[in-house]
Structure 1
Amino acid sequence: MTSPRTTTAEPASSIRDAAGGIVALTLATFAAITTEMLPVGLLPQIGDAFDVSDGTVGLLVTVYAFMVAALALPLTLGTRRLPRKGLLLTTLLAYTVSDTVVAVAPAFGVVAGARALGGVAHALFFSLSIGYAARLVRPHLTGRAMALVTAGASAGFVLGVPLSTTLGTAVGWRLAFGVLAGVCLLTTVLVAAFLPPVESDTAHTAPVAGRRPQLATAVTTNAVVYLGQYVVYTYVAVLLLHAGISESGVGPVLLGIGALGLLGLWFSAARLDVAPRRTAILVLAVLAASLAALALAFPSRGGVLASTAVWGASFGAVASIFQTAAVRTRGASPDVAGALVNATANVGIGGGAALGALVLDRRGLGTLPWLGAALVAAGLVIVLVGRRAFPPA
């Protein structure tokens, strides 16, 4: 019988050697994050179509995220003996089905159900992709590999969500979801062709005893920071509209703001293998300050655009920071660490959307950035205190 070692790829000794697999994962991540976040840009149109409030439509993000938060770890543990590549392809097909059903949904309840299916796929996808990226290269290149794969998420914010928002505003939100379903299907074909197989989770190096507290610190901080981010980001389209941006201008503005996230991604790719602790501290400090600046500037259009630009640039680095920190604690296998990062990020995303809906209805838009800034600042404090989870190198 053929052993797993003879049918899987060995970790590459350079990023160039792993380029094919990294690009395939990056494309898959682009499709995944665009599917997750598309309702953010089309929130007003979806609400109008089904005669529901902005806060209720925002709960589509909550439903999706809470499915991920609840299922990421059990699904990852339950499938750890199965081939990684086959599972990854299954999640991409599920995204395709989810987006297709949303595009033709006759009622808001059907939209919510289709989003729940996407949430199940997402529960496995990022756990798999984080573990996959860690296996494609040798350990000293983990930070750069994570950052490059995360470029797909940044591209989802930079290109996927804004362009889909622009398309949805111009010709209808249903067509935007239909086009995204086609993108997911095409991505599935490309990933099947170009992503090399890797060993299953049970074949990977065992976690190091005594490292679970560091892993817990890293993923808890991840949840807090994402909570602060998505209290605000879920309602960014509404914020922009109230700051004087036209409905047709929201997509282009999101495109410009998201493009700046590539600066944060570039910074993390350059620094995470050299100075991970200083990178985390600097990024979170700038993120918290930019949200506070947004709160001060709202509803001034110029101030909102300027502060949101800095906000977008700093958040571009966040995902790779926490993915790398969690894997490097070696408190669990890469897939389980990825599941925990995935789950806690989505606790933050879903909790942020729900908390934002509550604050939006009771306190108004201007309160959201203040709350987001406070939560990100709390995450920064945890990083400052948790030196063993966020070491200098």
Structure 2
Amino acid sequence: MSAPTTIRLSSALGLAALTLSTFVAITTELLPVGLLPQMSREFNVPESTMGLVVTVYALAVTILSLLLTTFTARLPRKRLLLLTLVGYAVSNLLVALAPTFVVVCIGRGIGGVAHALFFSVVSAYATKLVPKHLVGRAIAIVYSGTSLGFVLGVPLATSVGSAVGWRVAFGALVGIAALLVVATSVMLPSVSGETDSHSARFRAWRRSGLLAVAVVNVVLFFGHYVAYTYIASLLALAGVEEQAVGSVLLLLGGAGIFGLVGAGLLVDRRPRLGLLVTVAVMALGLAAIPLTSGSLVGTLIAIGAWCLAFGAAPSFLVTAAIRTGAVSPDIAGAVTNATSNLGIAAGAVVGAQIFAGAGVVGLPWVGAALLAVSVLVVVVSGQAFTSKPHRENLGTGVITLPQVG
């Protein structure tokens, strides 16, 4: 009897709730990226310094992901997920009302604490809603919220910020997060927390290839965000006016959707090939940006290729971490969450230094070089990035559906 290839309705509704939650999470994380020029002018700080609001958020995630995930392992997953969504709402409210740059950083820090738990919970949740052989597809569906954040969240918020003020953009996201708390409480089935010992399984992570996944993840996000943190300035260099940045980000986010679709097609069949192509295209797109300087069309094509490929990356890396079997799915999610945000923090800090010294034109070169390192690690790490998935490592847990009648 062949395994089912479709996802039942109750699980589909749960995945939809997780996808919308991921949309709010990624929009909250990246919202300042398109608004850095406006925010830096209001608080009278250099744009490179304003980039620290990205760093503060990412550092909170990096430091707290594993700690909070382990500490909350036995708590009800649904309640924990709802708590993180409340955290996002509080974070954006503080930023929207912040009288000073310091208060903005505090608000972003609260968002980082919520984010430290969110992606470990949501990644594990996805594995518990579907059969083992559909885990990769489920993760790709949930991570489509990341692309929705790129396609709709960040561009629309940037457009709102340019038109009526950046504070209104953050305020709108408060309302969306509040509505999502209600919707998720209805749509998402409850699942159990982890009942096994993380420590015993975690001791095997180095032998399993999880270390290689973590290295690729941190370097890839480092390379991406060393340039993407200052995407508004890169677009300005190509001749895009500040008022048009939101519209351009909308197009770039649309490119990310195509990357996500590609990941969904390959992540359960040819994950190693898919990841290699993804990182290589990212590197080539970044390297092409300085070469197309002076050509708006050429620069947009190069940035589009870079963002298209990045849309696929999270699905491949999260699934690879879970498939190592070294740790439970929520700890695997915490590892990828922590290392990706370490890369984001490093990218924002190093990018600020390059921006202040060599100017924005140097950012893509550094990003491309870092992504080339990621390609090399994938090539030499066959145990972590296999040609075909080890399905026996994809634990799904037990789903508990609400009683009807």
The reply to whether TM is greater than 0.5 is yes
Q: TM-score, normalised on structure 1? A: 0.95
Which residue is 1:132 aligned to?
125
CA distance in 1, matches of 2:262, 2:197: 30
Asked whether the 8 Å contact 1:13–1:137 carries over to 2, the reply is no
Which residue is 1:219 aligned to?
214
Bigger shift: 237-246 or 382-391?
237-246
Give yes or no for the alignment of 1:98 onto 2:94.
no
Which residue is 2:261 aligned to?
266
Which residue is 1:30 aligned to?
23
1:1-393 alignment, distance < 5 Å: 14-17=6-9, 18-202=11-195, 207=201, 210-213=204-207, 214-393=209-388
Asked whether the 8 Å contact 1:277–1:390 carries over to 2, the reply is yes
Question: What's the secondary structure of 2:359's corresponding residue?
Answer: coil
Percent identity between the two aligned chains = 49
Quote how far apart the aligned CAs of 1:297 are: 1.5
CA distance in 2, matches of 1:333, 1:202: 10
CA distance in 2, matches of 1:223, 1:257: 23
Evaluate the alpha carbon distance shift between residue 177 and residue 367 of structure 1 in structure 2; reply closer, same or farther with a 3 A threshold. Answer: same
- Offset from partner CA, 1:95-154 (integer Å, 9 cap, x none): 001101111111111000000000000000011111111111122111111110000011
Question: What's the secondary structure of 1:201's corresponding residue?
Answer: coil
What amino acid maps onto 2:47 in structure 1? D
CA distance in 2, matches of 1:231, 1:94: 26
Question: What's the secondary structure of 1:294's corresponding residue?
Answer: helix
CA distance in 2, matches of 1:347, 1:226: 8
Asked whether the 8 Å contact 1:84–1:128 carries over to 2, the reply is yes
Asked whether the 8 Å contact 1:212–1:332 carries over to 2, the reply is no
What amino acid maps onto 2:263 in structure 1? S
What amino acid maps onto 1:212 in structure 2? R
CA distance in 2, matches of 1:204, 1:272: 28
- Offset from partner CA, 1:151-196 (integer Å, 9 cap, x none): 0011001100000000000000000000011011111111111111
Quote how far apart the aligned CAs of 1:298 are: 2.7
Query: Unpaired runs of 5+ in structure 1?
Result: 1-11
Q: TM-score, normalised on structure 2? A: 0.92
CA distance in 2, matches of 1:364, 1:223: 24
CA distance in 2, matches of 1:385, 1:14: 35
Quote how far apart the aligned CAs of 1:15 are: 2.4
Asked whether the 8 Å contact 1:208–1:330 carries over to 2, the reply is no
Give the 4+ runs in structure 1 shifted more than 4 A: 203-211
Quote how far apart the aligned CAs of 1:40 are: 0.1
What amino acid maps onto 1:263 in structure 2? F
Quote how far apart the aligned CAs of 1:220 are: 1.3
What amino acid maps onto 1:54 in structure 2? E
CA distance in 2, matches of 1:249, 1:277: 37
Q: Size of the alignment, in residue pairs? A: 382
Asked whether the 8 Å contact 1:272–1:321 carries over to 2, the reply is yes
Question: What's the secondary structure of 1:366's corresponding residue?
Answer: helix
What amino acid maps onto 2:7 in structure 1? I
Asked whether the 8 Å contact 1:162–1:254 carries over to 2, the reply is yes
Question: What's the secondary structure of 1:80's corresponding residue?
Answer: coil
Query: Unpaired runs of 5+ in structure 2?
Result: 389-405
Asked whether the 8 Å contact 1:13–1:138 carries over to 2, the reply is no
Superposed CA RMSD in Å reads 1.5
Asked whether the 8 Å contact 1:166–1:248 carries over to 2, the reply is yes
- Offset from partner CA, 1:23-58 (integer Å, 9 cap, x none): 000000000000000000000000001001111111
Question: What's the secondary structure of 1:389's corresponding residue?
Answer: coil
Quote how far apart the aligned CAs of 1:204 are: 9.1
